[in-house]
Amino acid sequence: MTDKSDKTLWAGRYEAQAAESLRKLNDSLPFDKRLYASDVKCSGDYARALADAGVITHEEAHEIGGGLQRIVQEFIAGIFPFAAGDEDIHTAVERRLTEIVGPVAGKLHTGRSRNDQVATDVRHWQAGEITKINALLVRLARTLVSQADQHVDTLMPGYTHLRAAQPISAAHWLLSFFWMVTRDVERFTICRDHTLVSPLGSGALAGNPYPIDRVDLAKAMGFYAATPNSLDGVSDRDFIVELMSAAALLMVHLSRFAEDVILYSSPQFGFITLDERYTTGSSLMPQKQNPDVLELARGKAGRIAGHLSGFLNTLKGLPSTYNKDLQEDKEPLFDIIDTLETLLPALIGLVETMSFVPERMLAALDEGMLATDLADYVVAKGVPFREAHGIIGRLVRHGLETQTPLSQVPLEDYRAIFPDFDEDVYAVFDFAGSIARRKSFGGTAPEAVRVQIDQANEWLTNR
């Protein structure tokens, strides 16, 4: 008979121990041990549900609960004694519980499978992490608004195709990313709602044969509801895909912001100065100040998008209910959470401490960016915009050919292209005036931006 001192939860069916190569492939303890608090919490609530259903006594549930609390304290103190046979965090906790309270620990798994246990623990853990991420995103949003509030009247070029297009305010640029972050918070909030549906009581796939109240159990664990179908309950990982999707889109937003700030803080632009605490130097070139926080934000966007793509491909061919492939959910999920919880504080600090250089932004404005304002001038004379666009296009061409700034083109040359130009056309060449005219809702005019800031502060007040 083979020695079974290192036996698994399923060893009764087997004569031989698992091959070492299989253990290395199969065991998930190295990465899922972080679920210990959720496993203990949900196990304790399940023990009480078993007692309420009359499956075990309340005294036994109390004994199990006491053992679980001791396990939590061991994890917190860093003294939990892992053993060679611990396949995952769930087997480790059950094994240690048996060492503490004896055979009664074996009653905890009555009616419960690791299939519904794992799915429940991951949901419980993920919901808590979403709360942390949203708190960080609200901090980032608040920081963007705080910076915007100081730069309502700070002028800068706005770009399309990375070519100077029209003047805007620095506040308007900052707030464009604030609104992206609000949508990210909303997506994570919805994901959290979808996460907090408990599969516990689904068993391996067919349901629980004992009269536990799954709805009450779900609420005791902090969930909103119980899954309505046991087959779906043990296999559903939509909530993880939703988190990965929300994280991937968040990273797209952060990467776009990072790219702007990398450009604007470069010596060639000089619009933004980064605090030294959020940059790094070069090992070779003493003069360098590298925007590593921003570059890592940009780089990690691809990594997180890759996790989403990879996990979708894991799921797409699975047959019904639980399959071991689903173990592949955890490492990318954990990496995404770790990445966000590491990146966001650094990015918040960078935004809090970065400063604008208004004179450099103002110097980057050129009269060509007011060509649309000239077209609007012609439209005010009753000319259809498309015709006005052509008129100003010819005027721009004239300025290029004569190497004359538009503000210095003689009035007679203006009138040669369009007879209704008057002396007041030169008043168009005012960058602040151009911005002020764009006061429609959502525009870059100071009064419109202050409306945005009021809306932003209202959003923040409700978070």
From 232, 112, 113, 256, select the one nearest 184 (Cα to Cα). 256
Distance (Å, rounded) from C-alpha 94 to C-alpha 120? 16
pLDDT, mean of residues 46-59? 98
**pLDDT tens track for 321-356:** 999 999 999 999 999 999 999 999 999 999 999 999
Over residues 37-56, mean pLDDT: 98
Angle between helices 36-52 and 58-77 (to 10 degrees): 170
Q: Tokens for 343?
A: 């990146």
Q: pLDDT tens for residues 350-403?
A: 999 999 999 999 999 999 999 999 999 999 999 999 999 999 999 999 999 999
pLDDT of residue 3: 41
CB 437 within 8 A of CB 170: no
Instruction: Point out the catalytic residue in the list 5, 161, 283, 440.
Output: 161
pLDDT value at residue 286:
78
- For the cut 50, the answer to whether the pLDDT of residue 23 exceeds it is yes
pTM of the model: 0.93
Residues 6+ apart with CB under 8 A from 120: 38, 42, 198, 199, 200, 221
Q: H-helix or E-strand containing 103? A: none
351: its two tokens: 């935004």
* CB-CB contact of 147 with 172 (8 Å): no
- 209 DSSP assignment: S
pLDDT reading at 289 higher than 90: no
Is the confidence at residue 1, as pLDDT, over 50?
A: no
Predicted confidence (pLDDT) per residue in 190-236, tens digit: 999 999 999 999 999 999 999 999 999 999 999 999 999 999 999 99
Q: What is the largest CA-CA distance in the chain?
A: 107
Contact 375, 388 (CB under 8 A): yes
307 is catalytic: no
pLDDT given for residue 14 in this prediction: 59
pLDDT of 114: 95
- Confidence class for position 6, pLDDT limits 50, 70, 90: low
| pLDDT reported for residue 141 | 98
240-249 average pLDDT score: 98
CB-facing half-sphere around the CA of 402: CA atoms within 13 A = 14
pLDDT above 80: residue 16:
no
Q: Which residues of 263-285 are buried (b: 16+ CB within 10 A; e: fewer)?
A: bbbeeebebbebeeebbeeeeee
- Average the pLDDT over 40-46 and give the result: 98
Predicted confidence (pLDDT) per residue in 97-130, tens digit: 999 999 999 999 999 999 999 999 999 999 999 9
Question: Which pLDDT band holds residue 2 (cuts at 50, 70, 90)?
Answer: very low
| Res 27 pLDDT > 90 | no
- Active site (annotated) includes residue 282: yes
Question: How far is the C-alpha of 285 from the C-alpha of 218, rounded, in Å?
Answer: 58
Q: Cβ distance 407 to 417 under 8 Å?
A: no
Residue that the structure tokens 């969930």 belong to: 223
Calculate what percentage of the chain has a pLDDT beyond 70.
97
Q: What is the pLDDT of residue 9?
A: 58
Distance, CA of 98 to CA of 400 (rounded, Å): 85
pLDDT of residue 282: 77
Q: Catalytic one among 266, 282, 320, 355?
A: 282
Q: What pLDDT, on a 0 to 100 scale, did the predictor assign at position 285?
A: 83
